[in-house]
Amino acid sequence: MDADYPAKGVKFARRNTSGVANAEIGSFLTHLGLRIEAIRFFTVAGPNEFLLLTPESARVLGIEVYEQAGDEFTTPNQAPTADMFADRFMSYGIMRSRCQELFQLDKSVIDNGAQTSAEEGTRLVGAEKWVELWMPYLEQAKSQVRDKGSLLVCLETEARLRENGLPTGIDGPSFACSKASTATEKALCSDQNLWVRDRAMSAIFFYIRGIDKRDDAQNDACRSASMAEEAKRLRR
Mean pLDDT of 153-159: 95
Average pLDDT of the chain, as a whole number: 83
The CA distances from residue 54 to 12, 22, 64, 78, 146, in Å, are: 11, 22, 12, 17, 40
Q: What is the pLDDT of residues 160-186, one digit of tens each?
A: 999 999 999 999 999 999 999 999 999
Q: Partners of 74 in the beta sheet?
A: 67
Confidence of residue 1 (pLDDT cuts 50, 70, 90): very low
Mean pLDDT of 142-147: 92
Q: What is the pLDDT of residues 92-102, one digit of tens each?
A: 999 999 999 88
Using alpha carbons only, what angle is made at residue 179 by residues 175 and 180, rounded to the nearest 5 degrees? 75
Q: What is the pLDDT of residues 124-135, one digit of tens each?
A: 999 999 999 999
